[in-house]
Structure 1
Amino acid sequence: MMRHFYLIRGLMPASPFCLAVSLLCGLSACASAPQTGPAPIGLYHPSAPIEPESAVDTELASSLTYRVEQQARQLKAIDDALVDITGKLGGAGGDPAADIAAIQQDVRGLSDKVDGLMAQLNETDRTVATIMRRLDMIEAATVGAVKEAAAARDLVNRVEGVKAAQEGYELEAGPGQSYAIHLASYQSPDAAKEGWDVLKGQYPAVLEHLSPRLDPLRLDQAGGQFLRLIAGPFADIPPAREACESLRQHGAFCQLSLFRGEGL
């Protein structure tokens, strides 16, 4: 809200106090004598500066001008803030109480949604905890089953090892041991490689997925050093025995052996 001030010149006495009262209040009550000077110069505004009559008047006018402008800026800022608040509350024709009630309702709605999400999160946490407990139980059961299977395999291999020993085969049964089948014996690596290619072509169903190795064997009574051609590996003795029996049924030579030696 802008105020208009009148500056009355020619009033006697023209003291700083009367000038200040005239600028702030727009009154001429401080004059002690009737007006004898020129007519008033009109309304005061920042673009029409006060014409001081002395150095003291100049300083006072400058101070009052600054204060008036500062108060005008403050009033403008307050007015802008009120306009902004009014706009947020539905405009000049809105109902602030209703708008505030609607905002509070929205806040309650959001609070209810947050509570619902938290409940879902808690339920999910409980479900995950249940699943983790079940996984731990399954893992424990699996570990137990693996140990039982390993113990059963070890027992079977030991029994098969005893049986193989009775048949004349030397097999060391035990955990981590691999087994093979002895297919033939040769005196040179080249002959062994050629013999492996022939046997693999004759019995692909049995030998296709096995790896050949050469296991040195010295037989002085049979002519010195030999290379035993073996194929494997088999994790247990029973599948090695089955492979041997299949080859024997087709007229091939086969014996049980350990999977050792160097690759062909």
Structure 2
Amino acid sequence: MAITALLSDPAVWAALATLIVMEVVLGIDNLIFIAILSNKLPENIRQTARRTGIVLALVMRLGLLTAIAWIISLQSTILDLGITGPLGDHGVPSFETQFSWKDLILIAGGLFLVYKATKEIHHSVDLPEAEKAGAAPVKKAAELTFTAAIVQIIALDIVFSIDSILTAVGMTEHVEVMYVAVVVAVAVMLLAADPLSNFINKNPSVVMLALGFLLMIGMVLIAEGFGAHVPKGYIYTAMAFSAGIEALNLWSRRAKEKRGGSGH
């Protein structure tokens, strides 16, 4: 379809607006991971790591859009466990026994997210041996190099990019609309990256909440890889509710600090 015809079609504009919102929401998962990972780097290279990760996410999404036919083919079955029998309702297996490349990528990405989030939670909760013995807290050095952070960001960018593009393919048939939606969504991610990372870094309790989100997202990716489709609305409602509770906690904490500072 010609560009002029696309621009004059209200359905195309509606699809574009909806797709931009969907891509921004899907990008939140990616952004939380980048924020947590970049905050483990020395302060002078955090912003560079965040921007590099987001630019790579854009490159991957645009690259995958140019190979739409290949992306769609990722949903073809490549592995069949051959499990049959009344394992679930109606005499069919209660979980997916046929896997596509997309399923395997989602499972691998989910396992990686669960591993990373669990590891970071342990780092946040476990005290160093010196502190356990009663010594003064020791400031931990950055645990990642720039290259290691970028490699991990790329690994998750691939998973989130495939999920993002498959969502786009399911919502519109116009590749031009997908390109615009992806570019706008990644631009929003780029603008939000620094404020989100700084906010997470300044509020340790928010780090734990974000890690909890990553755990949940990882489990959802694994579930989807096994054919158990969890409605995204439930996930983001739960995340919004948790974020609202945490916002109230932060508000309460700051109010107490102000009262303490004023001598009351």
Instruction: Output the TM-score relative to the length of structure 1.
Output: 0.19
Looking at secondary structure, tell me which structure has more helix per residue: 2
**Rg larger in 1 or in 2?**
1
Q: Quick check: which one's strand share is greater?
A: 1
